[in-house]
Structure 1
Amino acid sequence: MALKGPIDRNQQRQPQVRVNHRIRVPEVRVIGSDGTQLGIMTSQEALRLAQSEALDLVEVNPKADPPVCKVMDFGKYKYEEKKRANEARKKQTVVEIKEVKVRPKTDDHDLDTKVRHIRRFLEEGNKAKITVRFRGREITHPEKGREVLDDVIKALEGMIIIESNPALEGKAMTMLIAPRPGAIKRAPTPGTAAPEPDDDDDDDDKD
């Protein structure tokens, strides 16, 4: 008894495209290899047409009545589909949420530093969660935490979208912000040197 290799369950779940003799419905609506609508014909007629062009008959819309088939190179079709899927995956961006912690008594210098960090996170396309931590009796004055968050909002005014307004959670007040599309430009790549001045003109003047 022959042993079968491991089954790829992900591949099993993918819908199988019917091609050529696997298309067993009586009639199909056919699209020619040049995109021309050829109308309805029997599956056998459509297959003979594809074979006459040394191409394949591929079912592209099985849910239509009758199903729609196209005359094409199936190998090239699979390659293009895989290429499009890979390009779509590359375009997908993973957005992270970076947390920045501050205190209700954070001084201006420290807050400026925190704001620079937040701005860098936003320039990278990430979101930022700003958390104000209260200690001891500081929690009795939550308005102090709100003032700090308001200062952050003012410092980044016009650059951000507030996705979650400041809210008190236990002994912390949090706020979630995201970059406003088109409002924040990415910082230059670190290590990029400025262009050197052209000294040719100076040398010519000396002559």
Structure 2
Amino acid sequence: MRKNSTKSTGGRVKEEPYRINEKIRAKEVRLVGDNVQQGIYSIEEALKIAEQQGLDLVEIAPNVTPPVCRVIDYSKFKYEQKKREKEIKAKAQKIVVKEIRFGPNTDEHDFNFKLKHARSFLEEGAKVKAYVQFAGRSIVFKDRGEVLLLKMATELEDVAKVEQMPTLEGKRMIMILAPLPKKKKKSEDKDKE
């Protein structure tokens, strides 16, 4: 019984992102790599050079004329590419936005309760989208909503900066707060000494 050469991708062969060895279509290539005399070679010469070193010829820049090929171990090359992509993903920050809702007539206790939550969200590194929801005729109190949001911004100025000032969008007045960048630990250690 003969094994299928397809991977478990629904019967389709997974295509490699780079052309290697005989799959390179160009007649001439610019050769780069370690232990290689860099320059422009015919595809046959480039393949011979790669074969002599026991390595693969990998097309790394197909859109230039002539295409750039590298003499390298292809499995090692793929591993390094995956590793580089993982590092880039790890460095990219995921921004979380938490919402806090007020009414135009929010009393002091509710305000302080929500303020405490906003502070904890900001300390965790999340942005806070605070808004005052106006229902029915309460839209006439939009100045109260703005005062409420600005009060919140001043209370949280030690942990946050205002990214968007209060703006009225429909029946909501929205303000966005972003956490302040965290201070380096070295400066904290010096303060303790």
TM-score with structure 2 setting the length: 0.77
2:68 aligned residue: 68
Question: Structure 1 CA distance, aligned partners of 2:120 and 2:69?
Answer: 51
Deviation at 1:25, TM superposition (A): 1.5
Deviation at 1:97, TM superposition (A): 2.0
SS in 2 for 1:141: helix
2:143 aligned residue: 143
2:157 aligned residue: 157
When residues 18 and 133 of structure 1 are mapped into structure 2, their CA distance, relative to the original with a 3 A threshold, is closer
Task: Please tell me whether residue 127 in structure 1 is matched to residue 120 in structure 2.
Answer: no
1:27 aligned residue: 28
Question: Structure 1 CA distance, aligned partners of 2:171 and 2:65?
Answer: 62
User: Is 2:61–2:69's contact at 8 Å kept on the other side of the alignment?
Assistant: yes
User: Is 2:104–2:141's contact at 8 Å kept on the other side of the alignment?
Assistant: no
Give the stretch that moved more between structures: 83-92 or 64-73. Answer: 83-92
| Amino acid across the alignment from 2:85 | A
Question: Structure 2 CA distance, aligned partners of 1:85 and 1:129?
Answer: 32
1:17 aligned residue: 18
Give the stretch that moved more between structures: 109-118 or 37-46. Answer: 109-118
Q: How many residues align?
A: 180
When residues 133 and 63 of structure 1 are mapped into structure 2, their CA distance, relative to the original with a 3 A threshold, is closer
Give the stretch that moved more between structures: 21-30 or 92-101. Answer: 92-101
Show structure 2 runs of 5+ residues with no match: 186-193
When residues 54 and 178 of structure 1 are mapped into structure 2, their CA distance, relative to the original with a 3 A threshold, is same
Question: Structure 1 CA distance, aligned partners of 2:166 and 2:178?
Answer: 14
Deviations 1:158-206 (A, max 9, x none): 54343332123444322122223337x9xxxxxxxxxxxxxxxxxxxxx
Deviation at 1:77, TM superposition (A): 0.6
1:190 aligned residue: none
| Amino acid across the alignment from 1:26 | K
Deviations 1:103-156 (A, max 9, x none): 333344432332221122122222211122345654322111111111111112
When residues 77 and 127 of structure 1 are mapped into structure 2, their CA distance, relative to the original with a 3 A threshold, is same
| Amino acid across the alignment from 2:115 | V
Give the stretch that moved more between structures: 67-76 or 15-24. Answer: 15-24
| Amino acid across the alignment from 1:27 | E
Question: Structure 1 CA distance, aligned partners of 2:24 and 2:114?
Answer: 63
User: Is 2:101–2:131's contact at 8 Å kept on the other side of the alignment?
Assistant: yes
Higher radius of gyration, 1 or 2: 1
Question: Structure 2 CA distance, aligned partners of 1:59 and 1:113?
Answer: 60
1:53-202 aligned within 5 A: 53-134=53-134, 137-157=137-157, 159-182=159-182
1:202 aligned residue: none
Give the stretch that moved more between structures: 40-49 or 123-132. Answer: 123-132
Show structure 1 runs of 5+ residues with no match: 186-207
Q: Give the % identical residues.
A: 41
TM-score with structure 1 setting the length: 0.72
| Amino acid across the alignment from 1:105 | N
SS in 1 for 2:17: coil
| Amino acid across the alignment from 1:19 | I
CA RMSD of aligned residues (A): 3.0
Question: Structure 2 CA distance, aligned partners of 1:136 and 1:62?
Answer: 62
